[in-house]
Chains A and B, each alone.
Chain A
Amino acid sequence: MNGYVEAGYLAVLGGLGGYSALLLNKSKKLKRSLLPVKAKDDRDESGPQQ
């Protein structure tokens, strides 16, 4: 079209897609860390928490 329109749509899709991917990834990691594991390796598995 004229470059600007595409850039705008790309920014929106990229921004929202990127943020969604971040969310999905984070919740997957968190769920894994909350699975009951042996007390010892609990800490190693927990991943980033903040």
Chain B
Amino acid sequence: MWRDALLIAGKDLRIELRSKVTFNQILPFGFIVLIVFAFALDTSPDTLQMVAPGLFWLAVLISSILGVDRAIAIETHDNASDGLLVYGVDPGGIFLGKVASVFVQLFLLEIVLTIAMIVLYGPKIGGWPLVTISAVFATLGISAAGVLYSQLASSSKAKQTLLPLLLVPVASPVLLAATKSWQDAFAGSAWLVDPWLRLLIVFAVVYLALGTVFYNSILEG
């Protein structure tokens, strides 16, 4: 299973390296979301600094919808996933591979967006360890839930409209927890026992497990 996961992740990342969809389309989109949020609120530095973590994670969540949709679209096109199953690739491996590839792309996107956020909103960031660790688990959770739901909705012609409806309420705890743990971290708390971090870890583990167990049924069913 792990070997299959690595293979799938490698394949998807290679596709991304060649097509650069995330880099050329999703990343600029996340950037513009950060900019228009400032339009919607206020340009006063106080407001922007205060809401920076929330806006950042909302931008990530919105971008992730595009990212997971893309990750599954690669497979549904020409029924490529059937091909993978015929080759004997482990379904759990496909799931974990997809999650890994989405995770890498989203994490890179977050690094760029963090820099953009610091420049645009100017928050002062304290505890970097907590910032990094929460980002890792939040991204893992979003990727796992996203890939799972994207696959569930994949047979639909209306999947572009269905996916956000399914994913956003499910991922709302991640949005909340990531925002809050970043607020704690920005305020200078570096300890990793933050309850929000625990929630992020639980969410990521639950969705990774659910996806690994159920992916087979979704693909075949």
**Touching chains A and B, CB distance < 8 Å:** no
Q: Which residues of B contact A (CB under 8 A)?
A: none
Q: Which residues of A contact B (CB under 8 A)?
A: none
